[in-house]
Structure 1
Amino acid sequence: MNKNLLVIIAVAGSVQIQAQKVLQLEDCRQMALAHNKSLQMVQESVKAAKQLKEAAFTQFLPNFSANGAYTRNEKNLSLLSEDANLPVYNMNANGTPNYANSWNNSWKQVAANTYAPMDAAGNVFDPKVNPEKIQWKNYALLPKSAMEFDVQNVFVGSIGFVQPIFMGGKIKELYNIAKYGENLAQAQQESKMTELLLEVDEAYWRVVSLENKVKLAKEYRNLIARVDSNVTDMINEGVATKAEALKVRVKLNEADITMTKAEDGLNLSRMALNQLCGIALDDVYTLADQDLAAETITRLIPIDQALNNRPEIKQLIQLENIAKSNEKIMVSRFLPNIVLSGNYLVTNPNSFDGYKNQFGGMYSIGVVANIPLFHFGDKVHTLNAAKSQHKIATLQLEETKEKMQLQIKQSSYKVAESLKKKTSTEHNVEQAEENLRYATEGFTEGVITSTDLLGAQTAWLSAKSEYIDANIDVKLTNLYLAKSLGTLASDYKTGSQNSANKK
């Protein structure tokens, strides 16, 4: 029995705590930022862009690589089809060839101190013109087997590097494009964050508005209920008619319908805010700003600073930078490419010291240059296309800046207009409350009919409703102004840092 009592008390306590949960606007923003999947995807895109920038930087550094290969050949290589005989010169003491002792040809004197060899037919010939007529005395045997090379098992391996020296600036611009891509991803993340904060704030203030509308609808329903009770008493006393009671009942039914619609709208709006914040859809809480007491003031900043704050402008600036770098890359295609290369090559068999079936290697280093000459205007056309894309990006940036300046002006005017409307509705509420008080007193004293009292109550309801709308409008117009100034995300970050420092 005691255990059951403790369980009931614990459950009741948890329900009370749940009902008393209070959410600040800052809490909703933090939960939405932590829960939103689209923002998480953009954050991953920022990480990917950073890695691509790091990868682009490596293109400045040498590229090392190693290669290896093995080949099995069916046959060996042979430079001779059969054994060969090489003629051999006899040499004089001074190292010159001794033609007479090397050849079997007969010699004939053709001029003073000049002799020429004769062929087998006894005709004089020139050895340089007809070397085949020379009859050699001695030959050296060159066997076919001596000119065979074992290449059935060939092993090749190499390790080397390539270091760019001058590539026309394309590596630098590719790195710049990767860097601009990272900045673009960060601007997209800020833009997504701004959109999410805007969506959360709109949902938050929508719930605040409907909470106040529900309270107002209940108050209005209670006012009519009291009139209905008073009219019923007056009918019993014979000083009122059933027609007046029917009018009051109709108004009471309308008040019930209005209250039901407000409650349904509140539930749906609360679910929408819950979904953004990543909490249970049926979770019930109290918003800290439901009394609309907190003032919202957006600090104005210079137009140039506001444009630089806007993530849309940041994105377009990065796109313009990318287009500019792409144009420079197209220019680099006209320039020579120079690289430094070095390698160490090892082979088996090798011919570095005779032909041997063992591993032997050597290193080599050199500079390679490639100079483009002509390709039927391909590079000119691509350069012109890149220039046009750069111009498009520049024009798009200028056009967006013009539109954003107009947006900032419009948002500023709407903030001023909402403040005037708020002040006006405050006076209307005061007058409506005063009119309702006089009407209530007059109805109680019997000098005002129920119709007049209902009219005063309806006017009071309208004034209070407009006052709530005006307060919410001030919140939203300041919100839209902060977005147009590009300070929505930065103000949130500053506020979060201040909260963390206080803790």
Structure 2
Amino acid sequence: MKRITGYLLATCVALPVGAQTTLTLDSCRALALSNNKQLAVAHVKQDIAANMRKSARTKYLPRVSALAGYEYTSREISLLSDDQKKTLGNMGTNATAGIGGKANELLQAVPQGVWQQLGQLGFTPEGIQQQLTAGIGSLAGSLNQVGAGIVDAFHTDTRSMWAGAIMVTQPVYMGGAITAMNRIADIGEQLAANSAHAQRQLTLYSIDQAYWQVVSLRHKQKLAQSYLDLVKKLDGDVQKMIEEGVATRSEGLSVSVKVNEAEMTLSKVNDGLTLAKMYLSQLCGLPMNGSVTLADEESENIAQNTSCAKADVAVAFEQRPEIRMLRNTLDMTQQSVKLLKAGNLPQVAIVGGYAVSNPNLFNGFERKFGGVWNVGVLVRVPVWNWGDVTYKVRAAKGASAIASLELEEVKEKIELQVSQSSFRLNEASKKLQLAMASTRKAEENLRTANLGFREGVIQSTTVMEAQTAWLQAQSQKIDAEIDVRLSQTNMQKALGTLEN
């Protein structure tokens, strides 16, 4: 909401700048926040950290992956060896070879009387032998065909293979690594937000200093112009007195030198004011060759209605983005230790999926796609890594110790910074009161000197001294008022409460 409000305010303010629209401190801050490049980079880093956090959340969810491939080989997969194929192809021949030999031996062992009886029935040894040979040959051919069929049945035709699979992996326990990773991502997002906050405060601090620098130079420009008018008037009066013979030429030359010095001072202030406005325009994202008018340029009392929070170190420890960033760093190193320790712990995951292939491995290498479901549990237990994880854990603990020491050191420096800012603010307030008292005395002294000069009882040198004292008092008052403003800004920055 602050970013949107600032952008709208900056847009509304930027439109009529060319028409000499007066810019307040808040409008300059809004313009600077809208146009600061480093702040824009910090916001992009926040978006990056947010996406990294979302990415870390997905580690809890199951992973689904798909694989597919094709392979052509010069030879197919063979489930039978060449000898087995040959044996099966000649299975009938090999089997009947022995049967034929035994049949001949049996025929030769038949008694002669049996042959005579068989002969009466019409059976001769030659006929029986021919019939046995024909039957054995027929059996051998049939068995050879059966063996060839078996060889063909084991033919895989796997020279051209297609395969695919869908796998699902669900982490169950990763030793705390996923939890630590998510916490690191959360801390990283907080770190990016705190970094953007720090850049925001730095931008506001820079714009405040530039704003009050312009206001200071503008008031000194008016002061230099007033001083120039005073010395010019004195120079004119002295020149008239010289013409009347009541003043010496030496007095006239002294006043003329003061006029030249006043003109030179005014020229320097004009140049400094131009450069300061260019720098302020650059911070606000406005054209540097444009004309910028600030609301406090015409203010009679720059330091009026000012207030600042008390120097409470506890508030600084809570609000300073630098402290929060170091705490984020410390938390991140602690989570890194847990992440590394997970390398020595077991990891459990559930896996499952579906795989297909062509030829179909589950139906006799059929030239069709066929698949199978699978589910299982995967357990990984580290056994020995030569102390690699232990050394990394020790290193991470060392980094955590460093972050803790740096946090304590920064706390001490911030406590000192708050004290110094409080002292500077009190000192600036005292200087302002003294400067205002000196201004009143210098104005009265100048009034008295001018009155005495007109009455002819005071010389021009005394008037010039009074004018110089008045110039110094007014300049010191302007410096004191600006110092109060800058001291308040320093206090807010030290407390971490510098906001738009």
- TM-score of the pair, normalised by structure 1: 0.82
Alignment CA distance shift 1:230-1:51 (3 Å): same
Distance 2:312 2:432 in 1: 26
Amino acid at match of 1:415: L
Residues 322-401 of structure 1: pairs in structure 2 closer than 5 A: 322-401=332-411
Q: How far did residue 379 of structure 1 move? A: 1.3
Distance 2:19 2:362 in 1: 91
SS at structure 2 position matched to 1:333: helix
Amino acid at match of 1:287: L
Unaligned runs of 5+ in 2: 1-15, 92-98, 103-138
Distance 2:18 2:458 in 1: 46
Which residue pairs with 1:287 in the alignment? Answer: 294
Q: Of 461, 474, 481, which residue of structure 2 is paired with 1:471?
A: 481
Which residue pairs with 2:428 in the alignment? Answer: 418
Residues 26-75 of structure 1: per-residue CA shift (max 9 Å, x gap)? 11111111111111111111101100110011001000111111112222
Residues 289-308 of structure 1: pairs in structure 2 closer than 5 A: 289-290=296-297, 291=299, 292=302, 294-300=304-310, 302-308=312-318
Q: Of 145, 157, 161, which residue of structure 2 is paired with 1:154?
A: 161
Which residue pairs with 1:225 in the alignment? Answer: 232
**Structure 2 residue 57 is matched with structure 1 residue 84:** no
**Structure 2 residue 496 is matched with structure 1 residue 486:** yes
**Structure 2 residue 281 is matched with structure 1 residue 271:** no
Query: Which range moves more in the overlay, 288-297 or 35-44?
Result: 288-297
Q: How far did residue 306 of structure 1 move? A: 1.7
Residues 287-325 of structure 1: per-residue CA shift (max 9 Å, x gap)? 111211543211126322221211111111111111001
For these two proteins, the number of residue pairs brought into alignment is 431
User: Which protein shows a greater Rg?
Assistant: 2
Residues 414-444 of structure 1: per-residue CA shift (max 9 Å, x gap)? 1011000000000000000000000000111
Residues 325-367 of structure 1: per-residue CA shift (max 9 Å, x gap)? 1011111111001000011011111132333111111100000
SS at structure 2 position matched to 1:240: coil
Which residue pairs with 2:24 in the alignment? Answer: 24
Which residue pairs with 2:96 in the alignment? Answer: none
SS at structure 1 position matched to 2:66: strand
Which residue pairs with 2:326 in the alignment? Answer: 316
Q: Which of the two has greater strand per residue?
A: 1
Asked if the contact 1:164/1:339 (under 8 Å) is kept, the reply is: yes
Which residue pairs with 2:65 in the alignment? Answer: 65
Distance 1:249 1:19 in 2: 39
Q: How far did residue 185 of structure 1 move? A: 0.8
Q: How far did residue 267 of structure 1 move? A: 0.4
Which residue pairs with 1:247 in the alignment? Answer: 254
Residues 38-117 of structure 1: pairs in structure 2 closer than 5 A: 38-78=38-78, 79-81=80-82, 82-85=85-88
Which residue pairs with 1:458 in the alignment? Answer: 468
Distance 1:267 1:76 in 2: 88
Distance 2:441 2:253 in 1: 28
Q: How far did residue 281 of structure 1 move? A: 1.1
Q: How far did residue 17 of structure 1 move? A: 8.8
Distance 1:219 1:301 in 2: 39
Amino acid at match of 2:450: T
Q: How far did residue 447 of structure 1 move? A: 0.6
Amino acid at match of 2:315: Q
**Structure 2 residue 202 is matched with structure 1 residue 201:** no
Distance 1:330 1:20 in 2: 61
Asked if the contact 2:90/2:147 (under 8 Å) is kept, the reply is: no
Distance 2:303 2:428 in 1: 16
Q: How far did residue 284 of structure 1 move? A: 1.6
Distance 1:155 1:72 in 2: 9
SS at structure 1 position matched to 2:247: coil
Amino acid at match of 2:214: V
**Structure 2 residue 447 is matched with structure 1 residue 437:** yes
Residues 208-247 of structure 1: per-residue CA shift (max 9 Å, x gap)? 0000000000000000011001001101111000000000
Asked if the contact 2:210/2:280 (under 8 Å) is kept, the reply is: yes
RMSD, aligned α-carbons: 2.2
Which residue pairs with 1:237 in the alignment? Answer: 244
Q: Which of the two has greater helix per residue?
A: 2
**Structure 2 residue 188 is matched with structure 1 residue 181:** yes
Asked if the contact 1:19/1:285 (under 8 Å) is kept, the reply is: no
Distance 2:230 2:305 in 1: 30
SS at structure 2 position matched to 1:369: strand
Amino acid at match of 2:69: A
Asked if the contact 1:83/1:142 (under 8 Å) is kept, the reply is: no
Residues 423-475 of structure 1: per-residue CA shift (max 9 Å, x gap)? 00000000000000000001111111000000000000000000000000000
**Structure 2 residue 167 is matched with structure 1 residue 164:** no
What is the percentage of aligned positions where both structures have the same residue? 39
Distance 2:391 2:292 in 1: 64
Asked if the contact 2:59/2:178 (under 8 Å) is kept, the reply is: yes
SS at structure 2 position matched to 1:142: helix
- TM-score of the pair, normalised by structure 2: 0.83
Q: Of 141, 144, 147, which residue of structure 2 is paired with 1:142?
A: 147
Asked if the contact 2:77/2:156 (under 8 Å) is kept, the reply is: yes
Asked if the contact 1:232/1:245 (under 8 Å) is kept, the reply is: yes
Q: How far did residue 145 of structure 1 move? A: 3.3
Alignment CA distance shift 1:477-1:301 (3 Å): closer
Amino acid at match of 1:441: L
Amino acid at match of 2:158: V
Q: How far did residue 202 of structure 1 move? A: 0.3
Q: Of 263, 276, 286, which residue of structure 2 is paired with 1:256?
A: 263
Distance 1:146 1:64 in 2: 37
SS at structure 2 position matched to 1:344: strand
SS at structure 2 position matched to 1:374: coil
Distance 1:351 1:21 in 2: 83
Alignment CA distance shift 1:157-1:209 (3 Å): same
SS at structure 1 position matched to 2:55: helix
